[in-house]
Structures are given as structure tokens and as C-alpha cells.
Amino acid sequence: MAFIQLLAVALAIGLGAIGAGLAMGLANGKAYEAMGRNPEAMEALRTNFMMGLAFAETIIVFSLVISLMILLH
């Protein structure tokens, strides 16, 4: 297997995971800050927060699929 192919796989999964991890961390911080400032809106914030985390998690799965496609090609 070529070194370039392995490097592409590592970059695809690594950058996808780093990006999604940063997004999840920022989302956690802002959501908890908003819940602390306005406890009455906690239910609406929680729902939107979970949807955002699901979309960020999808990015990780997508980068895994792309890296597997590169690896198995």
C-alpha cells in the first residue's frame, strides 16, 4: 500500500475527528453557558443542543467512510 494512500486515510479521519471534536466542545460550552444564564429555556436549548451534536457526530462517521473508501480502493 502506498504511503500517500495511508497518509490520505490518516488525514481524512484525523481532520474530520478534530473538526467535529472542536465543534462539540464549543457547542457544549455555549449550551451550558446559555443554560446557566436562562434556566427557563433549558428544554429548548437541550433539544437544539442534541440535534447539533448529532450533526457533528455525522461528520465523524462521514470522514470514517471516506477514509475506508480510500483505504480499500
Residue 7, pLDDT score: 92
So what's the pLDDT on residue 62? 92
For the full predicted model, state whether its pTM sits above 0.85: no
Identify the residue whose cell numbers are 483505504: 71
Residue range 36-60, pLDDT digits in tens: 999 898 888 888 888 888 888 898 9
62 Cβ contact partners less than 8 Å away, ≥ 6 residues apart:
16
**Could you give all domains of the chain from N- to C-terminal order, each with its CATH number?**
3-72 (1.20.20.10)
According to the model, what pLDDT value does residue 37 have? 93
Contact 49, 31 (CB under 8 A): yes
The tens digit of pLDDT for each residue in 6-47 reads 999 999 899 989 998 998 899 889 988 998 999 898 888 888
